[in-house]
């Protein structure tokens, strides 16, 4: 800003720059009246004139911006006159000539506004920092903002529209056209349909042992009757603590057949954590393997032993009527208050996950490995993706499978679909990618990716479909997917998390809940059939994280605020950028530092 008003003799007749570019810190109140906020902003700016000769060195010292980071990288210039217009008003005896000006901006982005008979805007930018398409988006967004201000000057600041009509249609509707039909039935109903159609087909495999659909059905029926005799009724939570085994899967199914809700307990967890979970869920009984009985005796917790030969007492189905909207399981994740959160997931959400043909092909006879922890939501996909679609669930032995165990299991049982956490995926790529050569569909996700390891996989596994997946427990395992191109990543530095799975909607919104355009970061909001019912006994947190969809209020649907930061790429794919908080991911688990401290 030219300082022509300063008390310098002859300042008006001086030729040259008398400008000191100063940064301004602006507090944005989304609920403030826009016009009043702008007036207040101008008052604040006028009050700062007393400091306009302050050096940038002093301002940096006051700013608390870390050393090495620029104080600002963009500037806004506004002039209420143009030289050409001023000359025309003075006389006609002047002429102009065209010259070529080569300009190198001092800042990556300069926005200059000129007020003449109309407002015109000029954008100067560093081509090494910005693509032309990005500047076009900035220009269009600025036009939207100015039009919004002109049309509704007294709206709230948070209501100012930045999206162009075309962008709004894309992020709201076009990129969320994912609706497909899937069975409106419970997990036991869908499983028993497979039993009727293929009773002698292999349902479960573990090492040298296998169960057919008929045997698994009979075993789980027997367990279900024992659970009902122990007081399990529709809507009752039942703990299940076991290593990956045939009887573990039967136990999950038995709890559901009795009308209950299974609560997976990791045998490696401290007994204090298991006790907390069992008390919070009011579980009257826990299913456990014989080697774990001592733990529950010490906790004074009623239990039923879960072993291969203890479920064949009664072969008939319990015949419980279970609605698809009923809860299927409560999965515990890390809590920000130090208290774990119980995520409540319905039968309908599980059906939506495994009958989704958009991200993976699940077919009759397909062999899906189950290598995830018994209390990790990836197991939802691995178990029910096989058993509700007529496939075989191949259980990988060991609480935390070794590389050798995984290699032997994949080769011996001809597994064709496998999910690995990103850490596992990277480890396999480092050890020997060839062990996955027989896998037809390889899914990975849950942690920050490594383009190097993905590139290595593309080279070593040319016949394998490699799919990057993303999703929190609160959205039933997977919410987005990105098929890695067959030719590899090329020059890509980041691997997108892709687009929504079937019957899933993804929005990216800023801190005020406004949808952001492509290229702008915001929080991932997830909607659709896979959204959990909330957190058990944590109504305030449920209300905070599970909100009514503000973009389609007439539908009455809910969205989950993930706390994950992302942005849309120009083609509609989503790029994951990190967390809004300090939550960590370890082997796919979301861990709150405060829970570790507690």
Which has the higher per-residue pLDDT, 313 or 33? 33
Inform me whether the pLDDT recorded for 175 exceeds 80.
yes
Separation between Cα atoms, residue 174 and residue 166, nearest integer Å: 10
Inform me whether the pLDDT recorded for 598 exceeds 50.
no
Separation between Cα atoms, residue 33 and residue 35, nearest integer Å: 6
Separation between Cα atoms, residue 419 and residue 385, nearest integer Å: 11
- pLDDT on residue 115: 83
> ∠ CA 96-100-104 to the nearest 5 degrees?
130
Half-sphere exposure of 88 (CA within 13 A, CB side): 7
Q: What length does the chain have?
A: 598
Tokens standing for 182?
A: 């899937």
Strands of the sheet with 499-500, listed across from one edge: 209-212, 202-206, 392-395, 367-370, 417-421, 441-445, 465-470, 480-483, 499-500
Separation between Cα atoms, residue 517 and residue 490, nearest integer Å: 26
Inform me whether the pLDDT recorded for 6 exceeds 90.
no
Inform me whether the pLDDT recorded for 50 exceeds 90.
no
Q: Strand 209-212 and strand 417-421: pairing?
A: unpaired
Q: Does residue 526 contact residue 506 with C-beta atoms inside 8 Å?
A: yes
Q: Which runs of consecutive H residues, i.e. helices, occur in 392-490? A: 403-412, 422-431, 451-460
Percent of the chain with pLDDT over 70: 89
Tens-place pLDDT, residues 203-253: 999 999 999 999 999 999 999 999 999 999 999 999 999 999 999 999 999
Tens-place pLDDT, residues 392-449: 999 999 888 899 999 999 999 999 999 999 999 999 999 999 999 999 999 999 888 8
Q: How confident is the model at residue 576 (pLDDT cuts 50, 70, 90)?
A: very high
- pLDDT on residue 2: 46
Nearest alpha-carbon partner for 171 in 567, 577, 579, 576:
567
Tokens standing for 447?
A: 């942690």
> ∠ CA 524-529-534 to the nearest 5 degrees?
70
Q: Strand 584-586 and strand 119-125: pairing?
A: unpaired
Separation between Cα atoms, residue 484 and residue 592, nearest integer Å: 30
Beta bridge partners of 332: 342
Q: Which of 101-105, 377-381, 476-480, 551-555 has the lowest mean pLDDT?
A: 101-105
Q: How confident is the model at residue 68 (pLDDT cuts 50, 70, 90)?
A: confident
3-state secondary structure 239-259: EEECCCCHHHHHHHHHHHHCC
Contacts of 341 (CB under 8 A, 6+ apart): 332, 333, 334, 335, 535, 536, 538, 541
Q: Does residue 204 contact residue 210 with C-beta atoms inside 8 Å?
A: yes
Inform me whether the pLDDT recorded for 256 exceeds 90.
yes
Tens-place pLDDT, residues 416-426: 999 999 999 99
Q: How confident is the model at residue 597 (pLDDT cuts 50, 70, 90)?
A: very low
Find tokens 């909001």 and name the residue: 525
Which has the higher per-residue pLDDT, 156 or 50? 156
Q: Does residue 299 contact residue 275 with C-beta atoms inside 8 Å?
A: yes
> ∠ CA 135-138-142 to the nearest 5 degrees?
145
Beta bridge partners of 343: 331, 535
SS3 430: helix
Separation between Cα atoms, residue 101 and residue 405, nearest integer Å: 68
Inform me whether the pLDDT recorded for 590 exceeds 60.
no
- pLDDT on residue 476: 96
Q: Does residue 534 contact residue 542 with C-beta atoms inside 8 Å?
A: yes
Which has the higher per-residue pLDDT, 590 or 355? 355
Q: How confident is the model at residue 492 (pLDDT cuts 50, 70, 90)?
A: confident
What domains appear along the chain, each with residue ranges and CATH number?
A: 11-176 (3.30.559.30), 182-357 (3.40.50.12780)
Contacts of 262 (CB under 8 A, 6+ apart): 237, 238, 240, 251, 252, 255, 256, 328, 329, 330
Separation between Cα atoms, residue 494 and residue 575, nearest integer Å: 8
Separation between Cα atoms, residue 78 and residue 123, nearest integer Å: 12
Mean of all residue pLDDT scores within the chain: 89
SS3 125: strand
């Amino acid at each position: 800003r030219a300082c022509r008003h300063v008390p310098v003799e002859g300042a008006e007749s001086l030729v040259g720059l008398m400008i000191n570019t100063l940064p301004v810190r602006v507090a944005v109140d989304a609920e403030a009246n826009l016009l009043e906020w702008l007036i207040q902003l101008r008052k604040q700016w006028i009050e700062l004139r007393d400091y306009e000769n302050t050096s940038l060195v002093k301002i940096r010292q006051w700013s608390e911006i870390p050393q090495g980071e620029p104080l600002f990288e963009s500037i806004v210039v506004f002039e209420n006159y143009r030289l050409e217009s001023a000359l025309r008003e003075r006389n006609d005896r002047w002429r102009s000539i065209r010259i070529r000006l080569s300009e190198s901006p001092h800042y990556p982005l300069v926005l200059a506004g000129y007020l003449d008979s109309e407002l015109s805007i000029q954008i100067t930018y560093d081509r090494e920092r910005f693509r032309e398409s990005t500047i076009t988006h900035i220009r269009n967004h600025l036009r939207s903002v100015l039009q919004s201000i002109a049309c509704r000057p007294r709206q709230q600041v948070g209501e100012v529209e930045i999206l162009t009509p075309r962008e709004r249609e894309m992020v709201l509707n076009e990129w969320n056209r994912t609706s497909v039909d899937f069975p409106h039935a419970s997990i036991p109903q869908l499983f028993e349909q497979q039993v009727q159609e293929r009773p002698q087909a292999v349902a479960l495999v573990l090492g040298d042992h296998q169960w057919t659909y008929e045997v698994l059905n009979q075993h789980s029926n027997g367990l279900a009757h024992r659970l009902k005799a122990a007081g399990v009724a529709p809507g009752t939570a039942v703990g299940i603590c076991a290593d990956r085994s045939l009887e573990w899967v039967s136990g999950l199914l038995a709890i559901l057949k009795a009308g209950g809700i299974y609560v997976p307990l990791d045998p490696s967890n401290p007994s204090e954590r298991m006790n907390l979970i069992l008390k919070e869920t009011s579980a009257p009984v826990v299913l456990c393997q014989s080697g774990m009985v001592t733990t529950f005796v010490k906790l004074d917790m009623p239990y039923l032993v879960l072993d291969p030969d203890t479920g064949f007492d009664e072969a008939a189905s319990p015949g419980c009527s279970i609605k698809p909207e009923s809860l299927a399981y409560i999965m515990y994740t890390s809590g920000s208050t130090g208290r774990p959160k119980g995520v409540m997931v319905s039968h309908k959400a599980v059906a939506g996950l495994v009958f989704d043909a958009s991200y993976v092909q699940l077919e009759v006879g397909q062999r899906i490995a189950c290598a995830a922890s018994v209390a990790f939501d990836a197991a939802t996909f691995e178990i029910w993706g096989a058993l509700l679609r007529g496939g075989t669930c191949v259980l990988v032995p060991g609480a935390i499978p070794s590389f050798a165990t995984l290699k032997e299991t994949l080769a011996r049982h001809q597994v064709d679909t496998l999910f690995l956490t990103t850490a596992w995926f990277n480890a396999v790529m480092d050890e020997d990618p060839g062990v996955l050569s027989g896998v037809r569909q390889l899914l990975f996700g849950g942690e920050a990716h490594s383009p190097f390891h993905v590139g290595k996989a593309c080279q070593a596994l040319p016949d394998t479909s490699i799919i990057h997946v993303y999703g929190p427990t609160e959205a039933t395992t997977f919410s987005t997917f990105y098929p890695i191109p067959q030719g590899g990543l090329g020059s890509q530095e980041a691997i997108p998390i892709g687009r929504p799975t079937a019957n899933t909607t993804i929005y990216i919104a800023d801190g005020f809940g406004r949808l952001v355009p492509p290229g702008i970061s915001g929080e991932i909001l997830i909607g659709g059939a896979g959204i959990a019912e909330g957190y058990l006994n944590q109504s305030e947190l449920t209300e905070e994280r599970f909100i009514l969809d503000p973009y389609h209020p007439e539908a009455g649907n809910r969205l989950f605020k993930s706390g994950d930061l992302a942005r849309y790429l120009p083609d509609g794919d989503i790029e994951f950028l990190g967390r809004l908080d300090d939550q960590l991911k370890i082997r796919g688990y979301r861990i709150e530092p405060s829970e570790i401290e507690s």
